[in-house]
Structure 1
């Protein structure tokens, strides 16, 4: 887990070091402390401060289509094509 110094964290957020100290005092963004009292911040804190979810692995998406009989196989192909186009249109990786 990467820990950021107060200077690094302030640069990433685009705020001043004084702002981070104030947020820590106010309880808005409480920093971790080293044994010597230095403030440290994690990536999770960075994502939270930026209003983002934690970095996650992309979710896997599975397309499912079915037909009742082998005679409807052309319909199955149409369903799969429709689902693939739908996913691509939404920016979903299959």
Structure 2
């Protein structure tokens, strides 16, 4: 699936990934390949990018609050601010 992390200033990340873990307002949740369409609010916290199925390669970002949209195997994370850890 395709993951994009967008801030008001720029596109911070865009790549094909296996999944992503996100800090939802009601707790941590994970989106994997071929997830159903959804929209969810995000709270400030740590976002984990799962680059492969074995979960041996990953990247982390610190995000401010925002939203995530999943549609047609594309995950778009819209946040007020973010930085790579």
Normalization by structure 2: what TM-score?
Answer: 0.25
More helix by share: 1
**Bigger fraction of residues in strand:** 2
